[in-house]
Amino acid sequence: MDRFSQLGTDMAKLWSTYSSAYLGGMLSTLGLALIATFIGCIIGLACGILNTIPYSKNDPLPKRILLKAIRVIVRAYVEIFRGTPMVLQAVFIYYGLPYFSGNAMRFDSLWAAAILVVSINTGSYMAESVRGGIISIDPGQTEGAKAIGMTHFQTMVSIILPQALRNIMPQIGNNFIINIKDTSVMFIIGFTEFFAFHRYITGINAMYFPSAAIEMIGYLTMTLASSFLLRLLERHMDGADSYELVTSDKLVMAAGTYRSHSGTKEKEGVQ
């Protein structure tokens, strides 16, 4: 019990001294995760749409070659960035680009470098999520859209994507929560997020475990709050749980049951 009391005392001492640093690190972590997840979703959306553009043997040869090349590039991008750790991706992008370009592609902002790394990594996961969300929609909806003369672009924007985005919303939230935690590897390029402040503070006073306990509570607070807000967003997108037919709509009445009065006798029928 004395150990727990000592831990609480040490944590309180660290928080009273470095609370502004911890809070600043949490804001940096949330900001990076939010921006990178948003950009990553755009990248994933673009890759998912490009990867699902249909083509057949009757299409012109240049179109088929172009679409096949796009799918090969998207597949290579997804496999490379899903199959390697983000910490190594940060090293290769932040240090590798200047190395191979003779400092012509050097990053002047750590924020820009961190956002690029996390966004590209998130985009590789979202590309597969978007592809899965698109192919999960009933093919009959696409066929119906073609039957009424809609183009592929119109079908995707007006029919498929609104449903697919709702289906992949849990995955978007999951990626955001993962990014909150995985941004901790950005210390490798010098970006000062939540975990980087922990390393800095423990380097000054050597109180590693009390500071790690504060970090654990901080990350848990951010992820739990994010999960709660994301569930609220999902419920909002689901809409109401109960629905009522608009009985004043002639089409509804034509397909439903109505009552007609003939004198004092009531009849029922289906039109």
What are the C-alpha distances in Å from 218 to residues 8, 30, 172, 263? 15, 11, 22, 75
Residue 10, amino acid: D
The pTM (predicted TM-score) of the whole model is 0.80
Least confident of 56-65, 217-226, 232-241: 232-241
User: What percentage of the chain reaches a pLDDT higher than 70?
Assistant: 87
Highest mean predicted confidence (pLDDT) among 9-13, 100-104, 132-136, 262-266? 9-13
Closest among 78, 217, 236, 254 to 166, alpha carbons compared: 236
What are the C-alpha distances in Å from 180 to residues 21, 91, 138, 174, 175? 17, 19, 34, 10, 9
Assigned token pair, 61: 């040869």
Assigned token pair, 262: 């003939």
Those residues whose C-beta lies under 8 Å from the C-beta of residue 268, and which sit 6 or more positions away, are 257, 258, 259, 260
Q: How far apart are CA 39 and CA 47, in angstroms?
A: 12
